[in-house]
Copies of this chain bind each other. A is one copy, B any other.
Amino acid sequence: METAVVKVGLIGAGTVGSSLAQLLLDANRVDMLIDAAGARLELVTVAVRDQSKPRAGIPSELLSDDAAFVAGHAPIDVLVEVMGGVEETRGLIEAALRRGVTVVTANKALMAAAGTELVQLAYANGADLYYEGAVAGGIPILRALRTSMAGERINRVMGIVNGTTNFILSKMTSEGSDYADVLAEAQALGYAEADPTADVEGFDAAAKVTILASLAFGTPLEGEVIFREGITKIRSIDVAYARHHGYVIKLLGIAERVGDHAISRRVHVAMLPEEHPLASVHGAFNAVFVEGAFSGPLMWMGQGAGGNPTAAAVLGDVVVAARNRVTGRCDAPLSVDETLQNYPMGELQTEFYLTVDVLDRPGVLALVTGVFGEHAVSIRSMEQSGFGDEARLTFITHLAFESDIAATIEDLEQLDVVDSVGACIRIVGEE
């Protein structure tokens, strides 16, 4: 039987694109890929911005500077998009899908902004749209959610889905360093961008949570901005206090059911019990923890970024896409559950860790704890430590409404005896 051929066009030859080209062009892998994909995967064209720049390992005759032609007209079966960007890239992907070309992308920003429409467009044209590389680098979590887990009732997904912030928090934990110092080190090592906002303020994680939630719960990819809080306010003292009490501080992306018709999606720093599986995910590693009604807790862990791991995830998509091309079928998209509401953050109940710096005077403790009581926030434990003429009060609360905690902090900051509310960190994973 003659081996089928699936022609692949690639847009973008940065770290991921060049790793993928290396995989597809490696003569030692040809037979393995034929066996995996049921077809010979032929890389026929690579669109780059600057065609004159030499690309190690990519023959110059494959290079093109015309991404629009590759997406819209080149004779390809699968388009791989790893150039990034949203508006221009969306047009390219739409052009490919409209002519029935399957698209594999690692573009989380685009998928979180326009994914549902793009998935529908793919299906309407008999093509697939896969985006495993968009979430958690080399970890094949998206395909698991859309295949093996598709019939399971998932109650919660929690992920360490940003390697930069996990690297920073891990260093702060292991070395007791301050945020600013570790950020500078991460920037010097290339683990953090010169402008780290997308990572440290949780935008990157929020896009990934949006994608995970869409596959776990059928929430739409477009639409409401999810709650987002970054790591910039975390101090070494909070990390040390957490450790002392058996917790580890992590930036988590969380999507969970609340009741039958609502999903809470959010990104924030959390104190996790150190025996929680996510607590031992260190450095630039990513992990996704899924709680299913029947499966129980499951965790996937792996490298969250980098050219090679992300290229491995993209290659997995290309292999599965090629199988579908050969058999002339495409996957039906998982449907969007229109009845699901976005659960209001203010109505969420969580345990909190709070520190309050106060003047060290008689009566202060009564004043401060009185404010907690006024807002029905019940205190589980409290510690006081003095420094100079000030004292630091450290509270862990019982379950409290977000809105009540916000009101408590606001009122505390009005008190003359309160210097500042230093930290407010949610405690997660104890139930």
Contact = CB atoms under 8 A, between A and B. Distances in A.
A319 B140 CA distance: 19
B138 A298 contact: yes
Contacts of A63: none
Contact of A298 (B32, B38, B300, B331): B300
Contacts of A196: none
B148 A143 contact: yes
A144 B331 CA distance: 17
Nearest to A22: B294
A273 interface: no
A363 interface: no
17 contacts: A19-B294, A35-B335, A36-B334, A38-B332, A138-B294, A138-B296, A148-B320, A151-B315, A280-B280, A294-B309, A295-B308, A295-B309, A295-B313, A296-B312, A298-B303, A299-B302, A300-B300
Given A147-B319, A299-B302, A329-B329, 14 more contacts: A23-B151, A33-B151, A35-B218, A37-B151, A140-B144, A144-B144, A148-B313, A150-B319, A151-B315, A152-B315, A295-B309, A296-B303, A298-B302, A299-B300
A138 B29 contact: no
Contacts of A335: 35
Contacts of A308: 294-296
A368 interface: no
Interface of A: 19, 23, 29, 32-33, 35-38, 132, 138-140, 143-144, 147-153, 218, 277, 280, 292, 294-303, 306, 308-309, 311-313, 315-320, 323, 327, 329, 331-332, 334-335
B151 A32 contact: yes
Nearest to A140: B148
B147 A316 contact: yes
A144 B302 CA distance: 14
Given A297-B302, A298-B301, A309-B296, A319 B19 contact: no
Contact of A296 (B302, B320, B332, B334): B302
A316 B138 contact: no
A320 B132 CA distance: 18
Contacts of A153: 29, 32
A319 B151 contact: yes
Contacts of A297: 302-303
- Find the residue from A150, A151, A152, A335 having the highest chain B CB count within 10 A: A151
B312 A303 contact: no
Nearest to A33: B151
A138 B300 CA distance: 13
A295 B151 contact: no
A36 B332 CA distance: 9
A102 to B, nearest CB: 15
Contacts of A150: 35-37, 316, 319-320
A285 B350 CA distance: 27
A294 B24 CA distance: 12
Nearest to A142: B148
Contacts of A296: 138, 302-303, 306, 308-309, 312
Contacts of A147: 140, 143, 147, 316, 319-320
B327 A329 contact: yes
Contacts of A19: 294
Contacts of A327: 329
B320 A294 contact: no
A295 B318 CA distance: 15
B148 A132 contact: yes
A247 to B, nearest CB: 16
A161 B302 CA distance: 19
A308 B294 CA distance: 5
Contacts of A312: 152, 292, 294-296
Contacts of A144: 140, 143-144
B295 A303 contact: yes
A139 B298 contact: yes
A29 B396 CA distance: 39
